[in-house]
A and B are shown apart, each in its own frame.
Chain A
Amino acid sequence: GAVVSQHPSRVICKSGTSVKIECRSLDFQATTMFWYRQFPKQSLMLMATSNEGSKATYEQGVEKDKFLINHASLTLSTLTVTSAHPEDSSFYICSANNPGYYGYTFGSGTRLTVV
């Protein structure tokens, strides 16, 4: 149990366009999900906490208008990178907690390349 599915796994987009990344908890309900960003050979940096039915909580320095988070159901959170620029190219990973399973389960990540 405790499977988190993330889609797409890879996406290439043009500068100025928007990209949506989905994070789904497949066999449990997640009232809270987290979004991370990881640059090559670096650690995961928490971007925001996604709360079902309410606004996301963003970490300091993360632009909420650029990284739109929607958590409309107990099994789905989406991250939309708006007006993407090459510097937004990164590995984005979500995670969720299954109350019946210790620790947090991570999605397999999305490699975003903005050209």
Chain B
Amino acid sequence: GQQLNQSPQSMFIQEGEDVSMNCTSSSIFNTWLWYKQDPGEGPVLLIALYKAGELTSNGRLTAQFGITRKDSFLNISASIPSDVGIYFCAGQTTGNQFYFGTGTSLTVIP
């Protein structure tokens, strides 16, 4: 299956710092989503984006759907310890299949 390129692969930041990660694909997607996964659990949806250029916020999280429909970014402002986890982007095709990014592991140092 397809896989999206996500960067950075891992981040180690101080509590209170902002975080930025992005996702790129060679294919166009109709929907971009961002998930967070805790160890041993399934991913939990953070933000969904449905339109090219769309900028959506959910609390301290902000995500944008790239104009080309081949990329997206996620920002987390003022990070806190509970932000620790692995963040995945996902793109949805016209066939309603989801393909995931390679993941960004976030560590927040108190």
Residue positions of A touching B, CB distance < 8 A: 4, 6, 32, 34, 36, 41-46, 49, 59-60, 91, 93, 95, 97, 102-109, 111
Q: Which of B40, B98, B102 contacts A104 (CB 8 A)?
A: B98
Is the beta-carbon distance between A107 and B42 smaller than 8 angstroms?
A: yes
Which of A60, A93, A106 has the most CB atoms of chain B within a 10 A radius of its CB? A106
Main secondary structure on chain A at its contact with chain B? strand
Question: Are the C-beta atoms of A46 and B42 separated by less than 8 Å?
Answer: no
Ordered by A's residue number, 17 sampled pairs between the chains whose C-beta atoms are within 8 Å are A32-B96, A41-B105, A43-B6, A43-B100, A44-B88, A44-B100, A46-B100, A49-B95, A95-B42, A95-B98, A102-B48, A103-B48, A104-B33, A105-B45, A106-B43, A108-B42, A109-B42
Residue of A nearest to B9 (CB): A41
Q: Knowing that A106-B43, A111-B40 touch, tell me 9 more A-B residue pairs with CB under 8 angstroms.
A: A44-B88, A45-B1, A45-B100, A46-B100, A93-B43, A95-B98, A97-B96, A105-B45, A109-B42
Q: How far is the CA of A4 from the CA of B48 in the complex (A)?
A: 18
Q: Which residues of A contact B1 (CB under 8 A)?
A: 45-46, 59-60
Interface size range on B against A:
20 to 34
Q: For window 11-34 of chain B, which residues contact chain A by CB distance below 8 Å?
A: 33
Cα(A109)–Cα(B44), bound, Å: 12
